Amino acid sequence: MNAHAALTLYTDGACLGNPGPGGWAFALVPSDVPFLETGQTAPEAAAFTRSGSAYPSTNNRMELCAVINALQEAHGRAAEAVVVVTDSQYVRKGITQWIHTWRHNGWKTAAKQPVKNKDLWEALSALADTLSVEWRWVKGHAGDPYNELCDRLATDAARRAAQSTADRP
């Protein structure tokens, strides 16, 4: 395995209103970075971070965009195995459980409604299929250093999206 084979990807999405201006962020943490305890502040220099925004958007779309962008970065670094840490049960359960039923049902939910964010679920699934991915859930706003970092970056991105929207003539 190469130096970038084992990566931990922390992700988060934010939305100012739902729908509203949205932001996403991820932090890519190589396996050789020391573990941080709950409540510690994650130094941005210890991780590769990226964020982006969209308007209009929803919180769930931003959560999915964060994971998609993180997996694209891992793929670009020739990662073989990644751990995705998200505070979104929608993302974790969607990709590990629900997606199989959605596909079987022609992208309909158990209630026979069209699956929301199908475009992003398909993109996420295609990326996840190219890597060995372990999906972990972490409680949001509970002091996990890298989750807090991603939350801050995603919220900042959403604020920038709101500001750029407000600046339009």
The pLDDT tens digits for 75-91 are 999 998 999 999 999 99
- What's the structural domain count of the chain? 1
Is 144 one of the annotated binding-site residues?
no
Give the three-state DSSP class for 81.
Answer: strand
Whether residue 77 is contained in a domain is answered as yes
Whether residue 28 is contained in a domain is answered as yes
Whether residue 111 is contained in a domain is answered as no
Whether residue 106 is contained in a domain is answered as no
- Here the tokens at position 82 are 């990644």
Cβ neighbours of residue 128 closer than 8 Å, sequence gap 6 or more = 71, 95
Whether residue 78 is contained in a domain is answered as yes
The pLDDT tens digits for 119-164 are 999 999 999 999 999 999 999 989 888 999 999 999 999 999 999 8
Is 12 one of the annotated binding-site residues?
yes
Whole-Å CA distances, 155 to 78, 93, 151, 160, 161 = 29, 23, 6, 9, 10
Residues assigned a catalytic role: 12-13, 63, 87, 141, 151
Is 148 one of the annotated binding-site residues?
no
Whether residue 103 is contained in a domain is answered as no
Question: By residue range, what is the domain housing residue 136?
Answer: 6-88+131-163
Is 151 one of the annotated binding-site residues?
yes
Whether residue 53 is contained in a domain is answered as yes
Supply the CATH number for residue 136's domain. 3.30.420.10
